[in-house]
Amino acid sequence: MQNVTLNNGVRMPILGFGAYQIPPDRTERAVTDALAAGYRLLDTAAAYGNEVAVGRAIRSSGIPREELFVTTKLWVQDAPAERNAKRAFETSLDKLGLGHVDLYLMHQPFGDVYGQWRAMEDLYREGRVKAIGVANFYPDRLVDLAINNEVTPAVNQIETHPFFQRGTDQDVMREHGVQLQSWGGFAEGRNNIFTHPLLSEIAESHGKSVAQVVLRWLTQRDIVAIPKSVRAERMAENINIFDFALTAAQMASIATLDTGTSQFFDHRDPAMVVRLGRVRLSD
């Protein structure tokens, strides 16, 4: 497995397994299959409601903890967030049954962002997390956070796929030493991505699937990808992308698919800010 090196020297697999939208009663089996297929980066979140099942799969796997890279996320916290954020972290750690997490992300750019970040900085300094980062931050919010705090986010996990490629965002992240990580790499099937003529043609030329082409396109851009599946055969297919490379011409042709807009929702939409800001998680 290829790795990327984060801005604090921590190495992170460039391809992992995402647990978003996997029901808790199916998560343990899915994560167990993913680990058996060779995934070592696991991505979950308090908001997904499946941290307990992820932790059970980790313990049952017998894989040494140091071989795994586990990410979870902090949900929106009201001001002052320092105490609440640390309590939320302890809840996640307890559910996972782990002594530390490798990456802790602020899940949304809402609530008491600076209070949340200060709490995460404390957890990082205490060695409870190996790296801290954010998710769903647009460049202006990301740069503001980076230049006004002691610890620069190591990762920004954002919607990134062939129809929303985030090239400008990635340029800004590189300037500030932040690693881009994709969520929604397959655009959740929108725009008929798995039968798209261009992507299908490229896939056929390599004897690969469209999903493999998309993941290879992401990783060739030095973007960390976390595809989700509940099917063991699809997990095995998704991780098998390092035996071919897209040509420069193919990368350029995929670039033409960029619409420059989200296929889901805009985190800058006031209505979405209200909607996400009102969600509160229970322990």
Instruction: Give the catalytic positions in this structure.
Output: 48
DSSP secondary structure, 106-123, as one string: E-SS-SSHHHHHHHHHHH
Residue corresponding to tokens 């994709």: 182
d(CA 126, CA 119): 11
d(CA 117, CA 19): 24
- Helix ranges, the chain (H): 24-37, 51-61, 82-96, 113-125, 139-147, 167-176, 197-206, 210-220, 232-239, 248-255, 270-277
Give burial (CB, 10 Å; 0-12/13-18/19+) of 252.
exposed
Question: Is 100 labelled a binding residue?
Answer: no
- Residue 78 DSSP code: P
d(CA 167, CA 240): 25
Binding residues for substrate: 107
Binding residues: 107
